[in-house]
Amino acid sequence: MRLKLLLVCLLTVPGGQFLSAAEWRTLPETEAAQSVDLVFDRAGNPRLAYRAGLVNGVLREARWTGSKWQMTTVDATPDTGEYASIVVDDSNNSRIAYFDWTQTGLRMAVEESGNWNLQDVAIWNYNGEYAHQLQDSSGKSHLFWFDRYNEMLAYAKKSNLSWQNEPVDFSRVNGIYIAAVETPDGKPTVLYSAPSAGEIRLAKPGTGDWVIETIAESGRFIQLGIDSAGTLKAAWISSETGRVRIAQKTHAGWEIEDLPQSPAVSGSLAMLVRPDGFRVLIVQDLETAAFHVFREESAGWISETLFQGDPQPRHFPAIELAPNGEEAMAIITHQGLRYFGNLGAGGFWEEAKEISDGWKAHPTIGIIHAEPENRTYSERLGWQFLFPFEEGTWFYDPNGTWWWTRSDIFPHIYSMEIEGWKQFD
């Protein structure tokens, strides 16, 4: 039987710690960044939208081409690009919603034939903070944002060639920290904070006005997701305790609890709901400035420390599920705009030469999963930190032959046999 070897996303290392099998990459961005969002294009490559520059910043997009990061200035207007929210349409073009401080309004950048069409959605009067873009199953964009002038949550969708705007929640000072999903009935459903009332609310279109439901006390960095069964799941940082709270909708109502092992004071949050219903959260601990990832499994929650960040709380991290089923993350730190995930050929995955069937990983390194197809092996760069012996990765085949790779001399693979080292080119 011929086998194609795939690396499983989670690797077990000594001490029971769980590490993802990719590494952080700092993008070639010279400006300080804010408000990053992440999406995958039709080829499975990541695209990031963000504000580049803390003072008079501009809107930029970074996309992985398959071999390098391509950085593009989308809107060069000074002081724009905050709360960037990106989707990719069926034609593989990007659409980015963002707040323009110069015009104090919400704008949409639409990629068309390699150019950017900048559209006004709700200009002036401080419309557009906390912008969130939802792309539904038909490919249409739904926009939610905070209308500061009217102190309310607002909504827009495209009708013919123009944007049609409407209020969602008229009550005063509500509509910040916005997250939205499409429910199985095809309706855009939005979760948001109403700080004047000290509440977190859920809204969805009704026969006339939006139907609004209060689900919890006020919170920050609100996240909303939905699994393949249509179950809504949420997370936020409690304004009262500073801890992360998690929730899911049941027939009896919302089940809400503290995230196990949540930092005592959390600074920022992002959540992914996998199709199987398990959640993955990125949480910043303000007391230590460290970023942690929490993964839900059938036996409970596991966590790992990603890296030390900096104490600034407005990172707005982003997490998405890549087409290959792995999680990918983007975070802004004092080191710059950073991405963590599989970048395909020429990135973290590099194709090695044909080798023998039936591979198994060394138990202190991780797991290699085999499935029928062919006799190729993909090696992910950056594994050397998982095994404390020089800069290589050790594993062995069922016959007991030890193998070793060196990332600095890749793609050579070496086997240790009785006659000594053998190189496979």
Asked if residue 1 belongs to a domain, the reply is no
Residue in 66, 68, 67, 102 with CA at minimum distance from that of residue 82: 102
Domain boundary among the residues 276, 310, 340 is at: 340
Token pair in block for residue 89: 């349409």
Whether pLDDT at 384 is above 50: no
Q: What is the pLDDT of residue 323?
A: 85
Q: What is the pLDDT of residue 130?
A: 96
Asked if residue 240 belongs to a domain, the reply is yes
Counting other chains too, the contacts that 143-151 makes at CB distance below 8 Å and 24 or more residues apart are: 143/97, 143/106, 143/108, 144/168, 144/175, 144/178, 144/180, 144/188, 144/190, 144/192, 145/83, 145/97, 145/99, 145/106, 145/175, 145/178, 146/175, 146/176, 146/178, 147/122, 147/175, 149/125, 150/125, 151/196
In sequence order, what are the beta bridge partners of 104?
Answer: none
Asked if residue 8 belongs to a domain, the reply is no
Higher-confidence position of 29 and 335: 29
Distance CA 191, CA 213 (A): 9
pLDDT tens digits for 337-370?
Answer: 888 886 653 333 222 222 233 333 333 333 232 3
Q: What is the pLDDT of residue 228?
A: 94
Distance CA 101, CA 55 (A): 11
123 and 235 share one domain: yes
Asked if residue 379 belongs to a domain, the reply is yes
Token pair in block for residue 274: 């996998």
Q: What is the pLDDT of residue 23?
A: 63
pLDDT above 90 covers a percentage of the chain that reads 55
Asked if 280 and 290 touch (Cβ cutoff 8 Å), the reply is no
140 and 279 share one domain: yes
393 and 335 share one domain: no
Which H/E stretch holds residue 99? Answer: strand 94-100
Asked if 231 and 248 touch (Cβ cutoff 8 Å), the reply is yes
On average, the pLDDT of the chain sits at 77
If pLDDT is split at 50, 70 and 90, which confidence band does 386 have? very low
292 and 419 share one domain: no
DSSP category for residue 345? B
Residue 419 lies in domain: 349-424
Cβ burial, residue 11 (10 Å; 0-12/13-18/19+): buried
**Residue length, the chain?**
425
Counting other chains too, the contacts that 389-396 makes at CB distance below 8 Å and 24 or more residues apart are: 393/365, 394/362, 394/365, 395/359, 395/360, 395/361, 395/362, 395/365, 395/368, 396/360, 396/362
363 and 294 share one domain: no
Which H/E stretch holds residue 318? Answer: strand 318-321
Identify the residue whose tokens are 């969002």: 37
66 and 147 share one domain: yes
Asked if residue 10 belongs to a domain, the reply is no
Mean pLDDT of 250-258: 96
Distance CA 95, CA 87 (A): 5
Domain boundary among the residues 340, 373, 397 is at: 340
Higher-confidence position of 132 and 373: 132
* Three-class SS of 228-283: CCCCEEEEEEECCCCCEEEEEEECCEEEEEECCCCCCCEEEEEEEECCCCCEEEEE
Domain boundary among the residues 322, 340, 358 is at: 340
362 and 242 share one domain: no
Asked if residue 3 belongs to a domain, the reply is no
Asked if residue 5 belongs to a domain, the reply is no
Number of domains in the chain: 2
Distance CA 347, CA 325 (A): 17
Q: What is the pLDDT of residue 418?
A: 33
Distance CA 280, CA 36 (A): 18
Distance CA 110, CA 106 (A): 13
Render the burial of 112-127: b for 16+ CB within 10 Å, e for the rest. Answer: eeeebebbebbeeebb
Asked if residue 79 belongs to a domain, the reply is yes
pLDDT tens digits for 172-207?
Answer: 888 999 999 999 999 999 999 999 899 999 999 999
131 and 178 share one domain: yes
Distance CA 326, CA 312 (A): 28
Amino acid at 45: N
User: Domain of 22: which CATH number?
Assistant: 2.120.10.10
272 and 368 share one domain: no
Asked if 211 and 204 touch (Cβ cutoff 8 Å), the reply is yes
DSSP category for residue 13? -
295 and 379 share one domain: no
Flag the least confident range among 83-97, 101-115, 333-347, 351-365. 351-365
410 and 336 share one domain: no
Q: pTM for this one? A: 0.77
Asked if 182 and 188 touch (Cβ cutoff 8 Å), the reply is yes
Distance CA 20, CA 382 (A): 11
285 and 157 share one domain: yes
